[in-house]
Amino acid sequence: MGQSIRRDAASPEVNSLDSIPLKQAKATLRVNPSQSPLRALIGESIRAVSSQKAAALDMAIDPGQLTRQLQSGHLTIERLEALGPQFCARLGERLVQEFGPLTDPKDAARKSLESIEDSVRLIRQFVEQA
C-alpha cells in the first residue's frame, strides 16, 4: 500500500538555492491624484493666495509633503489654518461657488409652511368636491 511519488524528468530536484538568480523586490508606490472636488478646491485656493512652496513653509512641512497630503486628503485643519485668513476667505468663496449657498433656516421654514398650505388647499378641494 505504500505510495511513491513519481519524479517527472521536466522538474529536476533543487538541492541548493545558490544557482537561482536573485531579483531585488521593489514596492511600487502609486499616488493617484484625488478626484475629490473638496481637495481640488483646497489646492486651487492655496495657489490663488500664494505659491505652493510658500504655503508649505507656512504649514511647516515640505512642499512634496503638501502635494502628497493634498492628493491623499490627509491635510489637517491646523495646517490649513496656518495659511491665514486670506486663504480661508478664498476657500469659503470657492465652496459657496461649487456647492451653492446654504439655505437660511427661516427661508427653509417658510418654504415648508408654503408646502403645507398647498397640501391643505388640495385636501379642502377634495373635501368640497366630495
Q: Domain containing 92: what range?
A: 33-102
Residue 109 has, within 13 A of its CA and on its CB side, a CA count of: 3
75 is a domain residue: yes
Distances (CA, A) of 1 to 4, 8, 33, 129: 10, 21, 63, 95
Average confidence (pLDDT) over 43-70: 93
Average confidence (pLDDT) over 79-101: 91
pLDDT at 119 over 70: yes
Taking the C-alpha atoms of 51, 54, 56 and 61 in order, what is their torsion angle to the nearest 10 degrees? 160
92 is a domain residue: yes
CA separation for the pair 81, 79 (Å, rounded):
5
67 is a domain residue: yes
- Write the burial class of residue 88 (CB in 10 Å: 0-12 exposed, 13-18 middle, 19+ buried): middle
Kindly report, residue by residue over 38-48, the tens digit of the pLDDT: 899 999 999 99
Average confidence (pLDDT) over 34-60: 90
pLDDT at residue 30, as a whole number: 46
4 is a domain residue: no
> Number of helices and strands (H, E) in the chain?
6, 0
pLDDT tier for residue 81 given thresholds of 50, 70 and 90: very high
